[in-house]
Amino acid sequence: MHLKEFKSAFEAARDANKTEIWKEVCLACVDAVEFRLASMCALNIIIYTDQLNEICTHYETLGHFDELIAVLEQGTSLDRAHQGIYTQLGILYCKYKEEKLMDHIKLFWTRLNIPRLLASCKENLHWLEAVHLYTHYSQFDNAVDTLIQHSAECWNNDLFKATVGKVSNTEIYYRAITFYMEEQPMLVNDLVTDLIPKLDHRRVVRVAQRAGHLALIKDYLCAVQSENISEINEALNGLFLEMRDHRSLRESVEDYDAFDQIPLAQKLRDHDELEFRRIAAHLYKTNKFLKESMAISKKDELWADAMQTAEESGSQELAEELMRFFVEKKEFECFSACLFTCYELVRPDVVIELAWQNKIVDLVMPFIVQTFRDYSVKMATISEKVAALTEKVEGNEAKQGEDAQKPPGNLYAMPLALPAPPMMGMNGGQPMLGQGGMGMGVGMNQQGMGMGMNPMNPGMGY
């Protein structure tokens, strides 16, 4: 080496085949700018982890970055290539050839010392590569934080959505929504739609309201309204009102009732558009504020809505009040229509009286005919029921009379009780019962003790 005969020195090192000799020759060749021989020597050294750093430091100290990268790239193909070679090559890419860093990470991430290379990426401000290393290391929370904090250098919508869906800390979801509303407002709806199963919808509404961008997530709100959450319903109803979309507002209040309905009705009752006032009347009717609902319909001359409200109320008083209102307003055709709509609620005598007083009997004649028809049917039905009941009662009475006239049953068929047996005693061989009776006795006669018939007694004795 001192004679500058580096080729001979290389041959001698190969014959010796010792790590220390290879290292001495390699360092001397690097100092002498004999990079071909130096790389051949280095390939025999970098396979040892404890020698790799010294070789790399010597190359870097002299500023031979490209040559060192070339040596390590050759080292990745060695049979004894280890994690240190891939990691050190990645660190060199971070410092000197950043265009190759991403491909290196994607190809060899399983062989890298990720924390060490990650530290180098952060030190050299390669944030996108750091995000990929975080994801390969399953640190998705840190990856999302990096994307948010360094969005100008590394943010990508598809990458962000794919990463945020894997985080373990749910607070990051809402930080991500806030970030999108501030920096990517037109894509926030796309983000929250992808995260629907993982979000607290009430909190999303609060975040959007606080940022003043509730309208940006309208499609998301419509997608989750089926859960009938009060905050979602109120937010959408407010948006529909602001956008003057009365059709969507009507569908929302009819299909989803979980919201404070009376304040919305109060807000809509004085709206400058008729359809919104009709929605107010509908809300009042739904909540049984029938007079307020009918007052709005009367004011806007929505006679059909007023009649429908009276019918659904089931109130005779409200129906007859509406009927008198039509007569006072000379809306006789509406009066006749009200009789048809509220037929079950109005009293016939009140209808006839109003018709007679206002000379509109012809308009109520269909109502009168129908009323008499119904009464006739009811009377016929009642008569049939009364006749059937009367026939049944008469049949029961006739049956009871027949039972009363039947003779009593055969008393002799009843079993008679037998008299008690006679007492046994000594009476000259006669029984102790009187004549005509039947008895049993034992006695003594002239011939001695014996048993026989008593000729004076038809009964039997002993």
pLDDT at 401: 66
* Three-state DSSP class for residue 34: coil
Q: Cβ–Cβ contacts within 10 Å for residue 198, how many?
A: 11
Per-residue pLDDT tens listing for the chain (462 residues):
889 899 999 999 999 989 999 999 999 999 999 999 999 999 999 999 999 999 999 999 999 999 999 999 999 999 999 999 999 999 999 999 999 999 999 999 999 999 999 999 999 999 999 999 999 999 999 999 999 999 999 999 999 999 999 999 999 999 999 999 999 999 999 999 999 999 999 999 999 999 989 999 999 999 999 999 999 999 999 999 999 999 999 999 999 999 999 999 999 998 999 999 999 999 999 998 988 998 999 888 888 889 888 888 888 888 888 888 988 888 888 888 888 888 888 888 888 888 888 888 888 888 888 888 888 888 888 888 888 888 888 777 777 766 666 555 544 444 444 455 544 444 444 444 344 433 334 334 433 434 444 434 444 433
pTM for the structure as a whole: 0.70
Structure tokens at 214: 């509730």
Structure tokens at 235: 């937010």
List the beta bridge partners of residue 272: none
pLDDT at 389: 86
Q: Single out the residue of 418, 419, 426 nearest to residue 445, CA to CA.
A: 426
Specify whether the CB–CB gap between 440 and 421 falls below 8 A: yes
- Phi (first) and psi of residue 415, to 5 degrees: -65, 140
pLDDT at 215: 93
In angstroms, rounded to a whole number, what is the distance separating the alpha carbons of residues 38 and 35? 5
Q: Which residue type, as a one-letter code, is found at position 455?
A: P
